[in-house]
Amino acid sequence: MSAIKIQDLSYIYDDGTAAIENVSFEIEKGEAVALIGPNGAGKSTLLLHLNGILHSATSFESIRILDEPVDPKKIHEMPKKIGIVFQNADDMLFMPLLGDDVAFGPINLGLDKEEVQRRVKDALEMVGLAGYEHRVPHHLSGGEKRRAALATVLSMEPEILAMDEPTANLDPKSRRELIEILRRLKENGKTLLIITHDVNAIPELAERVIVLDKTVIADGHTRDIFSETEMLVKIGLDVPVITQLFEILRCFEYPCDVLPLSIEGA
């Protein structure tokens, strides 16, 4: 069953500039996929189409979530299917207490008090913030805020999780904590779509990479995509540091048939 299916999706800004053009790809349930591309490639624009936040006259016909079209009359139901975590956690934390932020979505789904409390507790535990219900969100550290924002989405128990630059601007410890949370979600069968410039995190999180530059220019297994170094460099993207190192070693005739993507793989 498809989790996300996009067919010939285009979006043009009011000034006539094309943000994305004829984008097509399909993600199966349980897949973990990274979406990469240079700045201005249309990644965030694409993300906002997935739950109907952004749309055009034809976009609802171009996108199917869990085999159903994105119906403009049912936008309020989308958070149960796909949860979107934005890069700026402060955009998602607006209540006096963190517990209220995490409860906001379930309450708006019409759930009873007992179910809301269960979901708040479970979501905070999943992101390593158990017992933080009465903490003030804006007193949290940057890493804690990022995990708190994730909890506000997980509390709605969506089948698909889409994230925009989840590890951006995090210190090494916070980055590692978030990667481990996403790995656990992946292992538990959550469908993941991760927009990121953090190429060193991708091998740990996604077995497939889609390269977007207004349209899809490459789509394949993570190892295959990062082996296309010339293509990636041409559009201004990096490859994992360990892969770059072994590319250099190859120049000195170091035997390496398959480029590693991580230290463990090396």
- Percent of the chain at pLDDT > 90 equals 70
Is the residue at 266 inside a domain? no
Q: For the segment 96-106, what is each residue's pLDDT rounded down to a tens digit?
A: 999 999 999 99
The pLDDT value recorded for residue 93 is 97
Residue 239 banded pLDDT, cuts 50, 70, 90 = confident
Please compute the mean of the pLDDT values over residues 149-155 and round it to a whole number.
Answer: 98
CA dist 35 and 48 (Å) reads: 14
For 29-43, 44-58, 174-188, which range has the lowest pLDDT when averaged over its residues?
44-58
Per the structure, the count of domains in the chain is 1
Residue 227 has pLDDT above 90, yes or no: no
The reply to whether 6 falls in a domain is yes
Pick the more confident residue, 263 or 198: 198
In a domain, residue 181? The reply is: yes
For residue 52, give both structure tokens: 């109907």
Range of the domain at 43: 2-224
What does the pLDDT read at residue 54? 85
User: Using one digit for the tens of pLDDT, what is the confidence trace for 57-108?
Assistant: 667 789 999 999 887 778 888 999 999 999 999 999 999 999 999 999 999 9
The mean pLDDT value for 106-113 works out to 95
| Alpha-carbon span 20 to 62, nearest angstrom | 13
Predicted pLDDT of residue 60 = 73
Instruction: For residue range 156-182, list pLDDT tens digits in order.
Output: 999 999 999 999 999 999 999 999 999
In a domain, 87, yes or no: yes
Helix and strand counts by DSSP (H, E) for the chain = 10, 10
pLDDT value for 37: 95
Per-residue confidence (pLDDT) for residue 201, from 0 to 100: 92
Average predicted confidence (pLDDT) for the chain: 90
- In a domain, residue 78? The reply is yes
67 inside domain? yes
Average pLDDT over residues 241-249: 60
Q: From CA 153, how far away is CA 158, in angstroms rounded?
A: 8
The domain spanning residue 13 has which CATH number? 3.40.50.300
* Average confidence (pLDDT) over 245-264: 53
Those residues with Cβ within 8 angstroms of residue 34's Cβ, 6 or more apart along the chain or in another chain: 194, 195, 196, 202, 205, 206, 208, 209, 210, 222
**Which residues neighbour 191 within 8 Å (Cβ) at sequence distance 6 or greater?**
3, 4, 27, 28, 29, 30, 31, 32, 159, 160, 161
pLDDT at 71: 78
Report residue 266's pLDDT band, with 50, 70 and 90 as the boundaries. very low
Residue 179 lies in a domain: yes
